[in-house]
Structure 1
């Protein structure tokens, strides 16, 4: 019979004590592990949360392991199904009506970071009420939206007439309506099949999604340069779970939460978008349309008034001004 030596008992005891002291933080999301969310958001968060004397161990549940519905990501954090969740405000647009202003064309000014738009509005108390019972760890924007189409080339607004275009939320839906097409709201994990089967004619989203969801296998035309807005994201933690953490554990999370983690995510999305566009240009089986300023002007004329119009409807002109960085 195997017997523990005294030294072995000591080592085993220390190991068991260390394991017992470790406190797991669960992170849930609905996309596959190879998605850019892993390298630019989840991994930097996990590294910081597990450092500087913290006893936390981050366990990631990708691909909907804690619940397959992308639309339920926020409520999963509130209910504690996962301690931390990642998702899109657009999927439940009615909850995030003021946050969605950030997604409209023309709101993000050249040179202004998307995460600054959101955090400035959050810190001013303009959108913080839309994130009840959670602690936002990251709020950020994707790269500019583009048209991703199957068997349709979009060169002018008239090319959209009668087409069904997938959108991620209400803001993009208003944009597509303004351009004369019919918006269809679908979560990202349904895009491939919907485009392949002809349930939609195309979609509006950031170009990083082309690679992340293998849309290049079913799409064949891409239009860049029109002012179509961009998508916002959240990475939130259950408020009670955060408040119950020890001082070292809170400090570890606080060391990266906020604009620092948001910048990491936004930079990752932008880098992935740039690489994706470069890749689809060289395949030889895609039509990549890059609109000049003159060619984009008819699109922009239709979408530019939306931000002020929707802000007026929401009585949120002050929120819009903060997001724009108006003095």
Structure 2
């Protein structure tokens, strides 16, 4: 059930009316091939975040390539739907397209959670190419009923905290925001992982609910978190986060063929736009955090690094064990991810 669903009923009615006015059927389809189409697109993070920047680029590109036939209304920063509500919001017709993070709900998205297994992917582009290829190749049932508009990931996760973490003693007992495969890693490190979306992290830091978080480093600038932390530990964990944008399959199928062709063309292009832009933004975020807020980059002590390496190496086996009864061959999926990652890293 959607949170605060009463907020969306009025909006849904307005959308339904708008679809009729623009020539769409009651099912969200198109009554005439050349009539205008307005699509709504929702995401939980701020407009400055790199996934939201990708949304704006997608909106511009689809408008341009359809000669203005398709226009897109963007709802970012959780103004329409919050993280965890977005995929259901697409199904229920609250929004036409929604982008959310499957890493926040590994129980619902077990196939996608393979991307959080640390196998040494050293860039968002390598990880994103691998993720989209896996989704296209396996067509996992966790996305049944949806058309995947695009998918991509961040870089690896790094500890970003109020006090420096360089040893086992430093991290023990520390309350840290984490998601996906990083949760058991922190538990083994004797930290106290707490689940929440990135949109909630700033307030949690400022109110003392958490003492830091594990995430990719662009959030220091995109979410303004650099002002609330003092240290980044220079040790990469698994891929920080993944994002998938979806449209209800029935609504997608009812679009004109020319529009569906453009959407298909943009799937890989937007993955590359987002991931390459993300990789380029990391150093800018680090410089911003250091220069504007005095954030320090600290190294892990050798003894701690050796133990952390061992813990990460065990995550692959644990993921296979955890997903042994899932609807897919966990061992086969992990092996295929390794193959694709090697191919993509060599590009």
Which residue of structure 1 aligns with residue 97 of structure 2?
A: 84
Q: Please give the TM-score of this superposition, normalised by the length of structure 1.
A: 0.85
Distance 1:42 1:292, change over 3 A: farther
1:161 matched to 2:175? The reply is: no
1:134 matched to 2:141? The reply is: no
Measure the CA separation in 2 of the matches of 1:138 and 1:294: 41
Distance 1:110 1:231, change over 3 A: closer
Higher relative CO (CA 8 A, sep ≥ 6), structure 1 or 2? 1
Q: CA deviation at 1:154?
A: 0.7
Q: Please give the TM-score of this superposition, normalised by the length of structure 2.
A: 0.81
Q: Secondary structure at the match of 2:266?
A: coil
Gaps of 5+ in 2: 1-20, 24-34, 325-329, 343-347
Which of 274, 299, 304 is the equivalent residue of 2:283?
274
Alignment of 1:1-327 (within 5 A): 21-39=35-53, 41-53=54-66, 55-67=69-81, 69-106=82-119, 108=121, 113-125=126-138, 128-150=140-162, 152-167=163-178, 169-257=179-267, 259-283=268-292, 285-291=294-300, 296-315=305-324, 316-325=330-339
Measure the CA separation in 2 of the matches of 1:56 and 1:85: 16
Q: Secondary structure at the match of 2:193?
A: strand
Distance 1:57 1:107, change over 3 A: same
- Corresponding residue pairs, total: 304
Measured against aligned partners, the alpha-carbon deviations of 1:117-159 in whole angstroms (never above 9, x if no partner) come to 212322331x621112111121111011111111x21112332
Q: CA deviation at 1:249?
A: 1.2
Measured against aligned partners, the alpha-carbon deviations of 1:186-225 in whole angstroms (never above 9, x if no partner) come to 1111101111111111110010111111111111111122
Q: Are the counterparts in 2 of residues 164 and 202 from structure 1 also a CA contact under 8 Å? A: yes
Measured against aligned partners, the alpha-carbon deviations of 1:26-53 in whole angstroms (never above 9, x if no partner) come to 10112222222233x1122112321334
Measure the CA separation in 1 of the matches of 2:253 and 2:145: 11
Q: Are the counterparts in 2 of residues 108 and 323 from structure 1 also a CA contact under 8 Å? A: no
Measure the CA separation in 1 of the matches of 2:310 and 2:96: 43
Deviates more, 1:57-66 or 1:203-212: 57-66
Structure (1 or 2) with the larger CA radius of gyration: 1
Measure the CA separation in 1 of the matches of 2:169 and 2:339: 33
CA RMSD of aligned residues (A): 2.4
Measured against aligned partners, the alpha-carbon deviations of 1:22-79 in whole angstroms (never above 9, x if no partner) come to 110110112222222233x112211232133451111111222222x21112111222
Measured against aligned partners, the alpha-carbon deviations of 1:73-106 in whole angstroms (never above 9, x if no partner) come to 2111222211111111122221111211211222
